[in-house]
Amino acid sequence: MEYIYGALLLHYAKQEINEENLAKVLQAAGITPDEVRIKTLVAALKEVNIDEAIKSAAFAPVAAPAAAAAPAAAGGAAPAAKAEEKKEEEEKKGPSEEEIAGSLASLF
């Protein structure tokens, strides 16, 4: 995960995500960089729009549980049932964003 965090830090600082910069960030954090992991991550991120990935992955899962919890807290059983049905429909559509993100994370 520290490699991903380093890449995100470089992105946030508007620095180029390349092998040299990522190695410097990891060394500054006190981590001995693994060249193979760095090369793999840099190659994988070349085709990724990081801003879009952050928007779609970070905020969607956080918003869904909050929306489902609000009707349940109001005491309505019917809205809670609708929320469960909606969740089941979303699961039938294919792999979730969390599963896709998990697949990407397994590369590192």
Do 60 and 101 reside in the same domain of the chain? yes
The better pLDDT of the pair 74, 47 is held by 47
pLDDT confidence of residue 72: 52
Do 63 and 39 reside in the same domain of the chain? no
The better pLDDT of the pair 75, 44 is held by 44
Do 40 and 68 reside in the same domain of the chain? no
Do 100 and 61 reside in the same domain of the chain? yes
> For 13-24, what is each residue's pLDDT tens digit?
999 999 999 999
> For 23-56, what is each residue's pLDDT tens digit?
999 999 999 999 999 999 999 998 888 888 888 8
pLDDT confidence of residue 23: 94
Task: Write the CATH number for 6.
Answer: 1.10.10.1410
Do 72 and 101 reside in the same domain of the chain? yes
Domain that holds residue 32: 2-48
The DSSP annotation for the chain comes to: -HHHHHHHHHHHTT----HHHHHHHHHHTT----HHHHHHHHHHHTT--HHHHHHHHHSHHHHHHHHHHHHHHHT-HHHHHHHHHHHHHHHHTSS-HHHHHHHHHTT-
